[in-house]
A and B are shown apart, each in its own frame.
Chain A
């Protein structure tokens, strides 16, 4: 198929960006979206133009590196996927596709479609861990029984890949879904309970410092999340936070 692409180009963080139009032809419906971008970039290199910078790595939907805001949606149309899992069969011959970086104050543009998601790192460093030494001298793993139900729920929360789609699709650029996923993973387990209050307080305050907006229960984050992280995690984080503020 033949497509018209309108892509955000921005030389660097301080430069002014703009949408630039490109045409691609002979795109196979079996290609992934990023393979279509590869084809475009190859043609740009052939014409001595600078290829479009975009983040990607594993190309199997798990590393969380790929971003892209496609036709007004984080990771584009289709549900429960990252951009690398988006296939061109979702588009039609002759379509015009708008491709932009994830937009949020806390995610400054590095170049073209690449944004800086370091704010997520700093939130994790503020408390997204259990303070246990890595000495291997811990108790036997089966000495900590965990109900299957809680282990499964914890796993569901832990499945977050930190891609930032939740922030990009939220009208307030809130990072609550991301933060709540980590808080929930630990809140559902007996390990790390002792520091639960500090964890949620520190992570939430770092989240606010980074300039993310607040949650107004719109639910767009849940809809666009490639890993189906549930809004219930936000409720759980709020409960944890409330608990932490009264003890």
Chain B
């Protein structure tokens, strides 16, 4: 059994990373080219890691299931990226970013990792600007900032509502430069289906060429997993349809511990679902909460009339609206963190005040902002006594410049003009804070196997603050992993090329082929999606925004039943040696069916409420989440033993030396 050693270096938190970097082993540039590194996933974390490792001189093989790294789901991140630059002079600092992140994560993240994240955040902005990322600028030509939920400063850098896209294209461009030089060998439309270990170390992978169906062996001295989160375990989520947990789950089954699987972020501002056919949910950037006010009708009869389509939101008088976030959390108002905003929306909707036909929506209203901006613009343009129409026209112009693409996206989906009538939003599964357990080096419990970005667990605790996902992905990939991996690889300079014609590769390849053949030969009765949707419903209803012991126990039982049914009755048409999208999905859903159970088991074990994990048994008198630091200030790292229900719990006790553990309050 592996013991958990977080390898957090000694010394004061401000100096840990610097002192540590000074001491770690380096690899001579001439030796780097003889060392192979495999990177799985080429989003922000994997793409930036692949580019930097190649630039340092390592030979990199990068794998992506899409046709291009530019399609990775990092591209969909809208609002921005945090960095403690203090360009606004509003009091930001590394410490403050560190503090906000630890507090926002409800004191369940690892202090040393978070401080390092804050410390390198400023470099990320410098790096991206140098790469030509077109961040928003003010009229003086300097970078502009906006603020996000859970913080009181403006530290978010953005490129319209397409920040993720622009940062990803930056990393992608850096990769392209290395691909052109031959330092990165890029495997598009390839999926990693398992890991190969030799003498306990990660030494390669088995991958499938998704076009030809050919099974391939690839060896390396180290393997990096950067495959993002597992939100699609809910079927409906804001993740891309192809986002999956396969790589992370396969390494878990081969010895990597999986940490805090129940920490999943339910994002408050998504477009509500409309019907059973729905394939995914669309996020509206949290940055909208800077200018949008969230409300539901104050009177239940108004809410009912709206649900029945008899009343329009614009017909409800100001005094009959309940701006419940501003009412409950006066200090942060509409900018409370995501977990708090999501639960508050659910609370109102559960009480019957929801505003669409299903009663599962609240309003996000821009009327006040349009007026405010309109009046300001009128002044700027020297228009005295502007008409109401003029004010609205000018105000809408500003809103369009800030959020135009989001408003357009909303209008296409809902067929309503959000400039004229408030948006409807509802929480949806978004980001997973849990993931593969890693130490300070970002190495898993398997030597030579690393995990970065959303796929690991370390930085966001039980809730991630807005604009911090992009920051972590790029920090890990550009600035952390390239150092720490060298420390490990310095022992490998004499190893030479790893052969792939060994019994270890034979065995894993056979496992992979047997599994694929099973799917094709099973000739069952139900499609893969049928099982995925069933799993998703159990997850949402019983392991969703609020959890309790009874439901969690039922969920575990039900997931086991769905899994059993899946292995008996799944149907996958087509054949192995061809482009077969149903076969791809089958393998991914098989993994979700196991991960879902561990997720529920983790939620059952954690008898407290914290961040995105809300146990109904643990609430304060005024209905807020109640944490239990005495008993649960630890990372739950699960060891696989053959069945998710029999996973063994290992605890990494979290230490808070620089931040006092306090009840989180946004009032």
A binding-site residues for B, Cβ under 8 Å: 11-12, 28, 30-32, 34-35, 38-39, 42, 44-46, 48-51, 53, 55-65, 78, 80-81, 85, 87, 89, 110-111, 114, 116-118, 120-121, 124-126, 128-136, 138-142, 144-148, 151-152, 154-155, 158-159, 161-162, 185-186, 189, 191-192
- Within 50-82 of B, Cβ neighbours of A (below 8 Å) are at 51-52, 55, 66-68, 70-73, 75-76
A-contact 0/1 string along B160-177, CB 8 Å cutoff: 101001100100111011
Chain B residues with Cβ below 8 Å from A57 are: 66, 71, 73, 240-242
Q: Do A65 and B132 touch (CB < 8 A)?
A: no
Chain B residues with Cβ below 8 Å from A189 are: 132, 134
- Within 229-282 of B, Cβ neighbours of A (below 8 Å) are at 238, 240-242, 274-275, 277-280, 282
Closest 8 CB pairs of A and B: A145-B141, A129-B173, A136-B123, A138-B130, A141-B129, A155-B134, A154-B134, A151-B137
User: Which of B7-15, B501-509, B573-581, B634-642 lies at the binding interface?
Assistant: B573-581
Q: Do B581 and A146 touch (CB < 8 A)?
A: no
Q: Do B132 and A191 touch (CB < 8 A)?
A: yes
Chain B residues with Cβ below 8 Å from A151 are: 134-137, 141
- Alpha-carbon separation in the docked complex, A137 to B135 (Å): 19
B548 within 8 A of A: no
Q: Do A30 and B275 touch (CB < 8 A)?
A: yes
The smallest beta-carbon distance between B168 and chain A, in angstroms, is: 10
Known: A38-B277, A136-B127. 6 other contacts (CB 8 A): A38-B279, A81-B412, A141-B143, A144-B129, A158-B169, A189-B132
- Alpha-carbon separation in the docked complex, A139 to B412 (Å): 41
- Within 549-579 of B, Cβ neighbours of A (below 8 Å) are at 571, 573-574, 578-579
- Alpha-carbon separation in the docked complex, A222 to B211 (Å): 31
B316 within 8 A of A: no
Chain B residues with Cβ below 8 Å from A31 are: 275, 277
Q: Do B68 and A30 touch (CB < 8 A)?
A: no
The smallest beta-carbon distance between A169 and chain B, in angstroms, is: 19
Q: Closest B-chain residue to A190, C-beta based?
A: B132
Inter-chain contact count A-B, CB under 8 Å? 218
- Alpha-carbon separation in the docked complex, A65 to B280 (Å): 15
Q: Do A111 and B188 touch (CB < 8 A)?
A: no
- Alpha-carbon separation in the docked complex, A144 to B571 (Å): 57
Q: Do A116 and B274 touch (CB < 8 A)?
A: no
B126 within 8 A of A: yes
Q: Closest B-chain residue to A52, C-beta based?
A: B581
Among A44, A63, A80, A111, the one with the most B-chain Cβ atoms within 10 Å of its Cβ is A63
- Alpha-carbon separation in the docked complex, A31 to B412 (Å): 11
The smallest beta-carbon distance between A144 and chain B, in angstroms, is: 6
Q: Do A58 and B409 touch (CB < 8 A)?
A: no
Q: Do B173 and A130 touch (CB < 8 A)?
A: yes
B binding-site residues for A, Cβ under 8 Å: 48, 51-52, 55, 66-68, 70-73, 75-76, 85, 87, 120, 123-132, 134-143, 159-160, 162, 165-166, 169, 172-174, 176-177, 179-180, 186, 188, 211, 238, 240-242, 274-275, 277-280, 282-283, 408-409, 412-413, 415, 478-479, 527, 529, 571, 573-574, 578-579, 581-582
- Alpha-carbon separation in the docked complex, A151 to B137 (Å): 7
Chain A facing B: main interface SS: loop
Among the listed B138, B176, B282, which residue makes an inter-chain contact with A129, where contact means beta carbons less than 8 Å apart?
A: B176
Q: Do B68 and A58 touch (CB < 8 A)?
A: no
Chain A residues with Cβ below 8 Å from B279 are: 32, 34-35, 38, 59
Contacts A60-B282, A81-B412; is A134 near B127 (CB within 8 Å)?
yes
The smallest beta-carbon distance between B137 and chain A, in angstroms, is: 4
Contacts A58-B240, A60-B409, A148-B137; is A45 near B179 (CB within 8 Å)?
no
Contacts A38-B277, A60-B76, A162-B70; is A128 near B176 (CB within 8 Å)?
yes
- Alpha-carbon separation in the docked complex, A154 to B160 (Å): 12
Q: Do A134 and B478 touch (CB < 8 A)?
A: yes
Contacts A53-B579, A136-B120; is A145 near B140 (CB within 8 Å)?
yes
Q: Do B174 and A129 touch (CB < 8 A)?
A: yes
- Alpha-carbon separation in the docked complex, A139 to B579 (Å): 46
Q: Do B67 and A65 touch (CB < 8 A)?
A: yes
The smallest beta-carbon distance between B81 and chain A, in angstroms, is: 12
- Alpha-carbon separation in the docked complex, A38 to B647 (Å): 36
Q: Do B136 and A124 touch (CB < 8 A)?
A: no
Chain A residues with Cβ below 8 Å from B166 are: 155, 158
The smallest beta-carbon distance between A102 and chain B, in angstroms, is: 12
Chain B residues with Cβ below 8 Å from A132 are: 127, 130-131
Q: Do B581 and A136 touch (CB < 8 A)?
A: no
- Alpha-carbon separation in the docked complex, A62 to B173 (Å): 17
Q: List 14 A-B contacts (CB under 8 A).
A: A11-B578, A30-B274, A32-B413, A56-B241, A57-B241, A85-B409, A111-B579, A125-B176, A134-B48, A134-B51, A134-B174, A141-B130, A144-B129, A191-B132
Q: Do A58 and B75 touch (CB < 8 A)?
A: yes
Chain B residues with Cβ below 8 Å from A154 are: 132, 134
Chain A residues with Cβ below 8 Å from B581 are: 51, 53
Chain A residues with Cβ below 8 Å from B162 are: 62, 155, 159
- Alpha-carbon separation in the docked complex, A31 to B280 (Å): 11
Among A58, A65, A121, A131, the one with the most B-chain Cβ atoms within 10 Å of its Cβ is A58
Q: Closest B-chain residue to A39, C-beta based?
A: B277
Q: Do A62 and B76 touch (CB < 8 A)?
A: yes
Chain A residues with Cβ below 8 Å from B578 are: 11-12, 111
Q: Closest B-chain residue to A151, C-beta based?
A: B137
- Alpha-carbon separation in the docked complex, A38 to B159 (Å): 33
Among the listed B71, B142, B573, B579, which residue makes an inter-chain contact with A48, where contact means beta carbons less than 8 Å apart?
A: B573
Contacts A57-B241, A125-B180; is A110 near B127 (CB within 8 Å)?
no
The smallest beta-carbon distance between A105 and chain B, in angstroms, is: 18
Among the listed A63, A80, A118, which residue makes an inter-chain contact with B408, where contact means beta carbons less than 8 Å apart?
A: A80
Q: Do A130 and B132 touch (CB < 8 A)?
A: yes
Among A38, A62, A111, A162, the one with the most B-chain Cβ atoms within 10 Å of its Cβ is A62
Chain B residues with Cβ below 8 Å from A48 are: 571, 573
Contacts A114-B579, A191-B130; is A55 near B173 (CB within 8 Å)?
no
Chain B residues with Cβ below 8 Å from A32 are: 279, 413
Among the listed B71, B126, B139, which residue makes an inter-chain contact with A63, where contact means beta carbons less than 8 Å apart?
A: B71
The smallest beta-carbon distance between B44 and chain A, in angstroms, is: 12
Q: Closest B-chain residue to A47, C-beta based?
A: B573
Q: Closest B-chain residue to A145, C-beta based?
A: B141
Chain B residues with Cβ below 8 Å from A35 are: 277-279
Q: Do B143 and A51 touch (CB < 8 A)?
A: no
- Alpha-carbon separation in the docked complex, A131 to B173 (Å): 9
Chain A residues with Cβ below 8 Å from B582 are: 45, 51
- Alpha-carbon separation in the docked complex, A189 to B581 (Å): 41
The smallest beta-carbon distance between B338 and chain A, in angstroms, is: 18
Q: Do B52 and A134 touch (CB < 8 A)?
A: yes
The smallest beta-carbon distance between A160 and chain B, in angstroms, is: 9
The smallest beta-carbon distance between B239 and chain A, in angstroms, is: 9
Q: Do B68 and A159 touch (CB < 8 A)?
A: no
Contacts A158-B166, A191-B131; is A141 near B179 (CB within 8 Å)?
no
Q: Do B159 and A155 touch (CB < 8 A)?
A: yes
- Alpha-carbon separation in the docked complex, A144 to B131 (Å): 12
Q: Closest B-chain residue to A30, C-beta based?
A: B274
Q: Do A59 and B412 touch (CB < 8 A)?
A: no
Q: Do A126 and B180 touch (CB < 8 A)?
A: yes
Among the listed B85, B136, B242, B412, which residue makes an inter-chain contact with A85, where contact means beta carbons less than 8 Å apart?
A: B412
Chain A residues with Cβ below 8 Å from B579 are: 12, 53, 110-111, 114
Q: Closest A-chain residue to B414, C-beta based?
A: A30
